[in-house]
Amino acid sequence: MSKEYTYSDVSEHATKKNLFVVIHEKVYNASTFIDEHPGGEEVLLDVAGQDATEAFEDVGHSDEAREILDTLLVGTLKRKEGDPKPKSYQSSTGTPATEAGMGVGLYAFILVGGLFAFGAYKYFQMQSENQ
């Protein structure tokens, strides 16, 4: 049986040598992984002792990262009255239910707009040289 932790318990583990995070109602001990984290230790220290679900999902971690996360599991979160409410997510893939794909769509829009503007600039530059 898995150990249950409260938010209070998790918040006591907020240092580099003793770092717990909550992701999707599960508690993970990231102390041994902090030096190996590809995003650097600062990323983990920013969410140490807190619910890191939103930060974890916003990055769009790979399947391999999720497998590594499974090895760090130490228990589940036991919610108490007054604890922050969890954010809703669509599925186990971790895509946020609200504004799903908005970030990617925005980047695509900016990229296409930039390419269009560059093409228009080159077209008008060629037109002015031909006159």
> Of 60, 56, 36, which is closest to residue 46 (Cα–Cα)?
56
Please, which residues bridge with residue 19 across strands?
Answer: 14
Please, which residues bridge with residue 75 across strands?
Answer: 3, 27
Classify residue 89 as exposed, middle or buried by CB count within 10 Å of its CB (0-12, 13-18, 19+): middle
Q: Helix (H, G, I), strand (E, B), or coil: what is residue 23? A: strand
Higher pLDDT, 109 or 52: 52
Q: Which long-range contacts (CB under 8 A, 24 or more apart) does 4-7 make?
A: 4/75, 4/76, 4/77, 4/78, 5/74, 5/75, 5/76, 5/77, 5/78, 6/77, 6/78, 6/79, 6/80, 6/83, 7/51, 7/77, 7/79, 7/80, 7/83, 7/84
Looking at residue 113, its amino acid is G
- Percent with pLDDT over 70 in the chain: 84
pLDDT at 59: 87
Q: What is the mean pLDDT of residues 42-67?
A: 90
pLDDT at 101: 54
Per residue in 72-115, pLDDT (tens digit) is 999 999 888 777 666 555 444 444 444 445 567 777 888 888 89
CA distance 69 to 33: 9
